[in-house]
Structures are given as C-alpha cells and as structure tokens.
Structure 1
Amino acid sequence: MKRTYARLLTTLVWGATLVPLSAWAQRTEKPPLHGKHWMAITGKPLAATAGARLFHQGGNAVDAACAMLAATCTMWDVLSWGGETQALIYHPKLKKVIAINALGVAPTGATVDFFRSKGYEFPPEYGPLAAVTPGTPGGLCYMLANYGTKSLAEVLAPAMEMAAGYPIDAQTATSIERGKERIKEWPYSKKVFLVHEGKEREAPEAGEIFIQKDLLETLSKLVEAEKKALVAGKDRKTAIMAAYDRFYTGDIADEFVRGSKEQGGLITKQDLANWKPIVEEPLHVSYKGIDVYKLQEWTQGPAMLQSLQLLKNFDLKSMGYNSPSYIHTVYQVMNLAFADRDFYYGDPYTNPKTPIRGLLSDSYAKERASTIDHQQNNPDVFPGDPYPYEGKRNPYAVLLQERKAKFAPHMDLNKDFVPKHDAGIAPSSSMESKASLSASLAVDSLYEDRLLRGTTSVEAADEEGWVVSITPSGGWLPACIAGKTGVGMSQRLQSFVLDSLINPFNVVSPGKRPRVTLTPSMALKDGRPYLSFAVQGGDTQDQNLLQFFLNMVEFGMTPQQATEAPNINSNQLWLSLGGTKSDDRKPRSGSLLLDKRTPKSTIEQLEKMGYSIQLGERTSGPINAIYFDQEHNTLWGGSSNNGEDYGIGW
C-alpha cells in the first residue's frame, strides 16, 4: 500500500504545474528522522549505531562522525581504511565552515611514462598500482584531535568490536563473492575475505561472524600509541597524533609498504611520511539567499556550484518539477559545468593553477547559460574559457582546439542507442542492428556500474552547533590488502589522466592528488546551518546533490521526500572511474537516465529533443542529509531508500 501510494504521489508531482507539491504530504518509503539533540546518518545501520554510541557517551558531532567513519571502513561499506576522506565541518564557535582534505597522493614512480609503458591509457582500476597513499587514518586522527572531544580509543571502540567479529551484511558478503576471482590475485585479501576457500561459496554468508584479526591488530596499535603518549604526560591532541605518526612513520607504515611492494605497488615509506591532511577554505556560492559550500577543485564539488550559478538565469519553479523543460534545462546546465570540470579541475597545490575564480563567477555563468539551446540537446558541449573573467588570457586556447578536433567526431557515442522502456529494449527503427543493440545494453550496464560504484557518506550534527559532512571512499571491494595490516588500498589513482588533452590540470605525477568525484556538501542560511548532505555514486554525485538541493529550495520538499524523489542523470561527461581506454570514458552524448515511472509524454518530448532515454528503478545513489529547522530549533534527517543507509536521531 505504501509503495502504491508513493507512486501515485510521484505521478502527481510529475505534473507539478497542475498539482502543488504540498500534495506530497509526509508519506515516503522511509520515515523522516527528527531530533532535538543530535543526528547520526551513514551507509550502514551498525555504523549509524556507532555514531549514536558516541553521542550517548557525551561526544560531539565530530566524535560521532569519526566513529561512523571508522565503522564504515571496517564494514567495507564500499571503502576501507586505506582510502581517502573528504570533509566539511561547521565550527559553531568560529561560525564558519572548515574543509578537510585527506586525499592521498600519487606515489613515487607513478608517472605518465610508467603507465604508458604498461599499455594503459588511464591508470588501472584495481590492485596495488591503482593506489594513492592512504588518507582516511590521518584524516580521522586530525579531525578528532582538533575538533572532537573524545579519545581515539573511545572513537575506535565500535570499529574494533566489529573487527573482532560482527555479523556481515548480505550486500558486503555478496560483493566479496562476486569479486572473488580478482581477490584471489592478492594473498592477503584472499586470507581475509575468502573464509570458505575451496567451497562453492567462498565468501562469508550473510549473518556470519566476519573476523579481521590483522585489522584489529592495526587499530589496537593506534590506540596503544595514544595510551603511551597519555601515560607520558602528553595532552589529548598530541596523544591522538602519536597514533597518526605510528600509522604513517612507524611499524604500521613499514608493514603497509612491505605488503604493497610485495604485490607490485609503488608506495614508499617516504611517500607515507611526506603526506599530510590539509585544512582548507571551502568554495561557496549563494543561491536564493542560501550559501552552499563545497571542497576545492581537487574534487568535482565546484561543478554543483557552477550549476547553481548557471541556474540563477532560469525560473525553474515555473517550469514544474521534472517537466520536460525542467529536465532539459538541468541536463544542459550540468553538461556545461561538467565540461569545465573535465578540463579545468585538478590539485590546487600543484602547477598549473586552476582558474576557479573565473569558473565560479556570475558573469561567466551568464555567458555560458546564454549558449543553451532550449529546443535541442547540444551533443558536443566543450569547456568554456573562464580566464577572461579573471582578467587573464587562456594559456590552453590551442590545447582546447586540439582537444575539440580530436574528440568531437567521437563524442556522440550514444547517437544510435535504443531507448529503454518498461517493456524492454525497443529498437528506434527496423534498421537497428544487433551490434547497436548490444552496444546499448553494454553502455547501460557500464552506466549502472558507475552509478552504484563508489563510497558512503557520513552526516552528523549536535545541539551545540557542530555539523559534519564526509564523503569517504577508496579501498572498495574487491580490494588489495597491504600485507598484514588488514588495510585495503585505495583505487583512486584511476581518476588521474595520462593525456593533457583531456585535462592538463589532472595529469598523474608523484606527490599529486587526483581530481576526485567525492563531494560532501553544506549550506548556511542567515549565517546558520541550513543543510548538510552527501551521496555516493561516482560522477553522479553532484548531479544528484544538485537536484536534492533544488527539490528542497525550489519545490518545498522535506529532506526525506527530497532524498527519495526521482532524479535525472547525464552521462554526457568524461567518466572519472572505470575503464582503461579512452573509449570507455568518453561522453555519451544525450544519454539520459530517468525514473521508470516517467510519463510517456515526457519521454517522447525529450526524445524529440535529441535524448536517448534509459529508465531505471533508481536514479540516484543513497542521499543522506540533515536539515536544520531554524524556526523550531530541531533537526530533520533524510536517508534515501536507494541502499542500506540509515540514520538515528535523538
């Protein structure tokens, strides 16, 4: 009954020009969360419980967020301890948003020539050669030491209990079984994951107690380092950072490097010692009186900010929620923002320097918005020129022309694709070949893999005013574990490029950070917290977060309604993950994913505008969010129905 009612409401909302969104009422597939004191939301129920435990022990939102981060890593919730952490923290005493960059860097030897000598067009997707240095242990320690209140021992206690043995969930157990052939390539991974080696099912069964002795020992060493520092009279912060030092310069580092090198990895002890988390000023723009914050351009986060700048030039509300004109406008805007992302975003701590000030300027957005054709999809959207909006000349003008000449003839890979309707694949004409049909199915599969691949998110807030939004990732299954550390290595190196024609700011080089898809989000209204939100899903993250934000701000949805609402997704961009050849990653022009309940009339109108439609059960990764009700001084939580994400409030 609930699902039927929800579908009826969705149908009404698709006709938003006729039915006001207030008709949606409160009913959703998952209930909204409410809290007066605190809110903890993340990718697994047990991990949300870890956050709740820290709150019950008197911790603040940073303590709870770190406990959830540790738990999700231990549960392999599409990440592990060797991955990367990206965070935004609202500091209530300073009344400002702080950005934490805990992304690893390319190791010694990770050069363009090295990967090309092995036949790669992009760095590999899996294995030790896909790894950047681990960032999550350092990021967690740094956040906890500087903004939390609890000890590392208290924050890691739930994760350590899990490492000692917890009932594994079906999703993770299935991922292990599905990836077992690759896992068998790495001896330390095989030992941890394939607990029934030789049997038909070699992975753990759902509900089976999953034990990670090596990881437990690593976490115990971190707590031991903290304890020794405290016994020696060190303060809380110094003691936590003693654990940090043990991971990056001590015996844990020794074993991590040894295990990586044994399996063909490049990471050195000096790479670990040289790495440090960075505290940054976040980027932000204002949209209808709401200040939206993102991490800097080493993430794709500014693409959402660019999209909001572009959307200021349109009256979205009058178009109606997910009407053909709304879908077309949002799609075109996202394509423009992502075209700039694909060429201009990269590590701001290395040369060349990105033109981010121009990219986020109102005048540049107005100029880009004026190029949109309101009747047809533009199949060849290319990067713009933000340099004049910084008072500079574009040093890559010639490169942009070469890029267009090289890729334009091949960008429209989706032109012969078959729209996917509820009844299955329907050929666009009787001349459709079996090869073209196979290509359509293959790309749909790649798209779904990209949509589902990725990360988790962590959202926490407390009554004192601390707010945390984290999008950690890396070391997902099937993961290569580094020696006897129990730590899965990151696969983030694949987000670099080897060809400057694709992106001169994101060419792999030792000590450099790749441009990642990971993108926590925060918004303030009248200088106070308004929203904290994040999602998993690779290149779709800022597409879905943009629409979640618009759902609330433009169409008045509650956080839970906004997380569950049907989104659209564009595949007209360069993929950041997956595939080792350029053809695997090139934009699929006009490729548009819609909710399967989309009215036929909307589909037909969009097809006439040049779109190739795919319909899906889910059109977003799991969005998690906290809304701050400034009128009632309470917290609302939203956690979408597209995954195992879970929240607890009090």
Structure 2
Amino acid sequence: MSEPIQTTEARRLSGASMRRRELLLGTMSGAAFALASTQTASARPVVQTGVGRQAPDAPASGAATVSAHRVEVPMPHGGVAAGHPLASMAGVRMLMQGGSAADAAVAAMAVLNVVEPWASGAAGNGFATCLDKKTGEVTSLAFTGAAPGLLDNQVDPAELVAGHKAVVTPGAFGGWIELARRFGRLPLSTLLEPAIGYARDGHPMDASIADTIRRQQAALARYPTTAAIYLPGGQPPAARSLFRNLPLANTFQALADAETAALATGADRNTALQAAYDYFYSGPVAREMSRFSEAGGGWLRLKDMQDYRPRWSAPVGANYRGVDIYCSPVTSRTGLEMCEQLNLLEGFDFASLPSDSPQALHLIAETIKVAKSDVYRYAAAPASAVVPTDILISKAFADQRRRLINPQAAIAYPTGADLSTSRPAPRRRPRASSVPGDTTSLSVIDSEGNAIACTTTLGGGFGTLLVMGDTGLICNNGLRVGSTAPYRDHPNFVAPGRIPLLGNGPVIVKQDGRLRMLFGSPGGETIGQTQFQTLVNVIDRGMSIQEAIEAPRIALDAEPGFYTPGAAIRLQMEARFPLATFAGLTAMGHKVEPVGPYSIGSIQGILISADGQPMAGGDPRRMGYAVGY
C-alpha cells in the first residue's frame, strides 16, 4: 500500500527536480554569458557583495521545509477568500466601492456561478453565517429550497439524482437578495456586474473545470439546454479557452434591470431589491422554469417558486477550550456535527499529541464517527420532526457518548444515541448509496469588521445536470439519497415540500467577544470533517490560517452510508502523512485508504491575528484564492 505512494511522489519530485535543473542550467548559461561579456568589456573582475546572499530564497539560506506553500493574505481594509480568484476579486471590487461584507459576498457568489458552475449557482442552495460588528450578533441565513409539491416519492431513486425529477426549488438567489437587503449598501446591478461581464464576454476556463466537464461529458450531453452551453460544438471547452454563458448573462442582466426600473420610479432600496426577487420567484424566471419542468415531466411549478422564502435563525454553537463557535442549524447537519465533534474531543489531551501521529488522527476519526451516528439518526427539517438539538450539542451528551471511544482501537460505526425523543434505529439496508456533494465556500470581512461566511451548493457535481430552459441556471439535486434518508420511516426521507439536509455549515469563531476566525469548505460528507480539523489546527496547534488550511487531512467514508448503523468505514488519508502513520492507524483497526496528497475539502478562511489584523488563506486543493486590500 505504501510503496505506490512513495513511488508516485518520488516520480513527481524527480520530474520537478529535473525541470528545476533544466531551468537552473539555462539561467546559469545565460548568467555565464553575461558575466563573460561584462568582463570582456570592462576588463575588470565582477566584485560580488553580500547583498542577496541572505535572502529567504538564496541557496545558502533557503528553508529546508515550508509549513505552507502560499503566503497568508493581509486584509487591513477587508477582503475575500473564495473558491476562485475572479470571485475573490469581484468581492474586493465591491469593498473598494464602499460596499459591505454582504455586498462582497453576493458579488463573489454570482461570479462563482459563472466561473465554477459545477459547484454552485443562483438556482442552488446554501447557508450563510453572519457577524454584525455593531451589535456583535451572529445570525444564520438558510437559503435552502424544498422538494416540489408534486413530488412522488415512490419514484425510482435513480431519477432523483439528475434530470427533471431531481430539481429542488431554487434558494440561492433569494439568499443573495436577503443578504443585500439586511446588510448591503450597493445596488444589485453593481453586485451582478462582474458576473454579467464574465458570462457575456467570457473568461479563461480553469483547467480543473474543463476536466470536470470532460469527465461528465456523456451525462451533460443528455440535456440539449446544458450541452448548448457546456459542450459548445459538441465538445468540452479546452482548458484556458474563453468560455461564455450568454443565457446566464441575460438572466442576471434582467434581474439587475428589474431593480433599476423600480429605482427609476422612485422606489426605495428594499422595494427595488424586491422587484428583482419577484422577477426571479414569481416573474419571468419562475415561469420559464415551471414551463420547462412541466414539459420535461418534472415536478417544479410556479407555486413552489412563489412559496419559497429564505430564513434567518440563530446558529447552533459550542464553546471549545474557551472559544465560541457558531455554525448553521438544521437543515444543515454540519453545525450539529461540528459541535458534537468539538465537545467529544475536548475530553482528550489532544494538544499533547503530534499532529501527524496515529493517536491524534485516531481521536479525530472516532469523534467524527460517533457524531455522524447521532446526527444522521436525528437531523431533519424541523417541520418534519422534533430535532433534539440542545441535547446533541451539549457537553453532558458528549460526556456520555465519549465512553464509546477507545483511545487505542477503532470501533464499529455505532447506532445513534437512544434519546427521549428517539425514533427506531433503521435496520433495513438502504436502496442506494450516498452520493458525494460538490459545493463552494467563501469568507468575507469588510473595513468595519462585519464578517460573512457562505457555503453554497448544487449538490452533486453540476447538480441536476439540467439547464432550466433559457435561464442558464442549473438547480440543486438535493432530493438524492445522502441529502435525504434512504429509509421511508425516517423524517428526512424525500417528501413533497420537505427541505433536504445540506452539509453546508460556514463557521464564525469568537473569543472574548471578538471575531477570531471565519471559514467554510465544500466537500459533501467531508465538510464537517474538514472544518473540524482546520479549527483544531488553529486552536490546539496554534497554526496560522494558511498552515491550518494546507495541513494534510483525513476523512471518513461509509458504505452504504452514514444513515446505516454498522456501515463499513474507510479512513481516507491524504498521501502526505508519514508512512508510519498509515501503518499505525491500520494496526489500530482502521481500514486505511490513501488518497491524493491534496484532495480532501477546500477551506477558504480568515483568521484575526493577535494584533487584530485579518489574515486570510486559500486552499490549494482547488483554485481558491484570497484577495485583500
């Protein structure tokens, strides 16, 4: 198991070393020629000084190892860490025009719809966690749509993965408007301007996005409205080629024009934003989506769009070693996972264990395992069931559940705790395994200290795979197993009007009443696991934000899924861990699976330094970048 990792890495390093050697020889040859010419012209030897010899990258003083391959990005006046550099820059443009964190977040999410279209969009779903600096209040916004009212849950589960029947009511655009309404300053037309430009005029297609389209070419080609955009001329776009989405540009422009028209009549800001909201949820966009869905045999109708509302609520929270953590409530499962994982780990002397030791990673894995069993037994839309949230995130509950953890050996995936509000634990096998989720996340802070972390998603890669008519928009496919339970008697089983669970759980951290950190990650089942590890890297290990992001990670995967007690658990480990760590965890009873060296999650985050300065990090696992000013 270890040799292929070592061999692959050795080959990679060998290739990189050869390229560096070739570049160095070329540079040396040029330098030698220049030196010879100089000596010939001047007839004097070149006198070398000490200048440059002690630079950080000089041969004699260069570091043997680095803790992070990217620098932290300072944000003295604010900034954005998002899943694509163009999205981060769009957000910073809003800040530099006097916009707020909310304005920057909306602009960045709109651009992500264009440049990272497989992961999120205006017709997707998501959560935002928001800090109002003036009041100190942290609030959560859910922009999560429900299953259409006409849904027939007797349908073959395969039809809920892609296509017309997989569509969840769009939620994200309503969330954008709600963020702009409550915390924003700039007009929607300004916020959408960068996205409209990139969609209309084009942008260089990121190589990873081009590869994603190529891998999903056959699936995307099944839907003519999708193929027309993502398979121009019948072929996937080449990496770095100019890519456009004209239908999306037209939709965004029409939404901006609806606001502009309202302002021209003397409407105030809220009324004008409502005009754009209405254009989407009861006007031309909603009517086109309803028409297209009905024509294709889908269930989404105009009434589903008109009935949708984004929802503000209090976040769930935990205190971990004196630090306050705020995360998304249900219908996000990740907030519950984060809180229980932290409460479980707090009972161990985790900071005394080396970060890459089998013992430390074993504790991480076992706390994830126990928390998942509890969350998947009880988490559901509050309208469908009583969720014992206060119990699940309590210290007393963690003290009880921690007894399951053996510090020396892996346990089987347990049954969720039997609580007073208990429902029977499922015993039947599910109809289908869970499907990985594809998502994006961003973190924003403005010059006043307001902060917003957003995680937004289409569900699986390219969501339903279906561009809805001439809108240019793809919907979330959250009706599939994973976002919904595989057991008919579970309150999260797919049903008309029911909101599926999301893994989205953007986090805000406060210490002594002041902002300490904000961050989030994509990754489906790995979201809560990735965020958990990043947070303990900062709190227990004292890492900088970029170090915490780049540190190698683990992730648990379950077959047939985390809803099933006794599921087979694989411990996926990024290949950068020492070989002895792989061996140690295997000896403790874990079924270890090596994965790519940078392959689990994609954190975008901001950490406030001891001097009160925001420092941001972007994850090299995808194309995330932080931009400050």
Separation of aligned partners in 2, 1:603 and 1:288:
29
Which residue of 131, 134, 137 maps to 2:167?
131
Separation of aligned partners in 2, 1:596 and 1:485:
42
Q: Is the 8 A contact 1:37 1:462 kept in 2?
A: yes
Is 2:605 the counterpart of 1:602? no
Is 2:102 the counterpart of 1:65? no
Separation of aligned partners in 2, 1:246 and 1:363:
49
Q: Which of 484-493 and 72-81 deviates more?
A: 72-81
Larger-Rg structure: 2
Which residue of 133, 138, 149 maps to 1:92?
133
Is 2:462 the counterpart of 1:477? yes
Letter in 2 for 1:529: L
Q: 1:11 maps to what in 2?
A: none
Q: CA deviation at 1:132?
A: 0.7
Q: 2:42 maps to what in 1?
A: none
Is 2:318 the counterpart of 1:332? no
Is 2:628 the counterpart of 1:628? no
Change in Cα spacing, 1:51 to 1:109, as seen in structure 2 (3 Å) is: same
Which residue of 343, 350, 361 maps to 2:377?
343
Q: How does 1:19-30 map to 2 (within 5 A)?
A: 27-30=67-70
Q: Which of 467-476 and 334-343 deviates more?
A: 467-476
Q: 1:423 maps to what in 2?
A: none
Q: 1:454 maps to what in 2?
A: 438
Q: 2:122 maps to what in 1?
A: 81
Alpha-carbon deviations, 1:375-423, whole Å to 9, x = none?
A: 22111311012x3xxxxx3342xx22xx25x45xx99xxxxxxxxxxxx
Letter in 2 for 1:496: T
Q: CA deviation at 1:323?
A: 1.4
Separation of aligned partners in 2, 1:222 and 1:362:
47
Change in Cα spacing, 1:130 to 1:277, as seen in structure 2 (3 Å) is: same
Q: 1:394 maps to what in 2?
A: 421
Ranges in structure 2 where 5+ consecutive residues have no aligned partner: 1-11, 14-62
Change in Cα spacing, 1:325 to 1:573, as seen in structure 2 (3 Å) is: farther
Separation of aligned partners in 2, 1:104 and 1:573:
28
Q: 1:178 maps to what in 2?
A: 215
Q: CA deviation at 1:211?
A: 2.2
Q: 1:315 maps to what in 2?
A: 349
Separation of aligned partners in 1, 2:118 and 2:95:
22
Separation of aligned partners in 2, 1:570 and 1:637:
27
Q: CA deviation at 1:180?
A: 2.1
Q: 1:225 maps to what in 2?
A: 258
Alpha-carbon deviations, 1:273-301, whole Å to 9, x = none?
A: 00000011111010111110111121122
Which residue of 504, 509, 530 maps to 2:516?
530
Separation of aligned partners in 2, 1:187 and 1:602:
49
Q: 1:491 maps to what in 2?
A: 477
Separation of aligned partners in 2, 1:237 and 1:372:
52
Separation of aligned partners in 2, 1:286 and 1:347:
25
Alpha-carbon deviations, 1:51-71, whole Å to 9, x = none?
A: 121112111111111100000
Q: Is the 8 A contact 1:125 1:491 kept in 2?
A: yes
Alpha-carbon deviations, 1:409-447, whole Å to 9, x = none?
A: x99xxxxxxxxxxxxxxxxxxxxxxxxxxxxxxxxxx99
Q: CA deviation at 1:47?
A: 1.2
Change in Cα spacing, 1:649 to 1:26, as seen in structure 2 (3 Å) is: farther
Q: 2:319 maps to what in 1?
A: 286
Q: CA deviation at 1:470?
A: 0.4
Q: CA deviation at 1:633?
A: 2.3
Q: 2:298 maps to what in 1?
A: 265
Separation of aligned partners in 2, 1:211 and 1:327:
44
Q: 1:194 maps to what in 2?
A: 231
SS in 1 for 2:413: coil
Separation of aligned partners in 1, 2:253 and 2:473:
13
Q: CA deviation at 1:214?
A: 1.5
Separation of aligned partners in 2, 1:213 and 1:353:
45
Which residue of 538, 549, 568 maps to 1:552?
538
Q: Is the 8 A contact 1:572 1:587 kept in 2?
A: no
Q: CA deviation at 1:568?
A: 1.3
Q: Is the 8 A contact 2:225 2:468 kept in 1?
A: yes
Alpha-carbon deviations, 1:28-52, whole Å to 9, x = none?
A: 1111111211121111111111112
SS in 2 for 1:473: strand
Q: Which of 254-263 and 269-278 deviates more?
A: 254-263
Q: CA deviation at 1:497?
A: 2.3
Q: CA deviation at 1:145?
A: 1.4
Q: 2:340 maps to what in 1?
A: 306
SS in 2 for 1:470: strand
Q: CA deviation at 1:123?
A: 6.1
Separation of aligned partners in 1, 2:444 and 2:595:
30
Q: 1:54 maps to what in 2?
A: 94
Q: 1:467 maps to what in 2?
A: 451
Change in Cα spacing, 1:106 to 1:587, as seen in structure 2 (3 Å) is: farther
Is 2:82 the counterpart of 1:42? yes
Q: Which has the higher contact order (CA 8 A, sep 6+)?
A: 1
Letter in 1 for 2:421: N
Q: Is the 8 A contact 1:229 1:242 kept in 2?
A: yes
Q: Is the 8 A contact 2:118 2:458 kept in 1?
A: no
TM-score (norm 2): 0.85
SS in 2 for 1:571: strand
Change in Cα spacing, 1:491 to 1:155, as seen in structure 2 (3 Å) is: same
Q: CA deviation at 1:588?
A: 5.0
Letter in 2 for 1:625: G
Q: Is the 8 A contact 2:223 2:466 kept in 1?
A: yes
SS in 2 for 1:570: strand
Q: 2:50 maps to what in 1?
A: none
SS in 1 for 2:81: strand
Q: How does 1:142-221 map to 2 (within 5 A)?
A: 142-166=178-202, 167-197=204-234, 202-221=235-254
Separation of aligned partners in 1, 2:240 and 2:161:
30
Q: How does 1:376-387 map to 2 (within 5 A)?
A: 376-385=409-418, 387=419
Separation of aligned partners in 2, 1:384 and 1:375:
22
Percent identity (aligned) = 28
Change in Cα spacing, 1:597 to 1:187, as seen in structure 2 (3 Å) is: closer
Letter in 1 for 2:103: D
Letter in 2 for 1:615: P
Q: How does 1:405-416 map to 2 (within 5 A)?
A: 406=428
Separation of aligned partners in 1, 2:198 and 2:532:
35
SS in 2 for 1:456: strand
Separation of aligned partners in 2, 1:573 and 1:525:
38
Q: Is the 8 A contact 1:342 1:573 kept in 2?
A: no
SS in 1 for 2:175: helix
Letter in 2 for 1:141: I
Q: Is the 8 A contact 2:286 2:302 kept in 1?
A: yes
SS in 2 for 1:468: strand
Q: CA deviation at 1:573?
A: 7.2
Q: Which of 215-224 and 76-85 deviates more?
A: 76-85
Q: CA deviation at 1:153?
A: 0.4
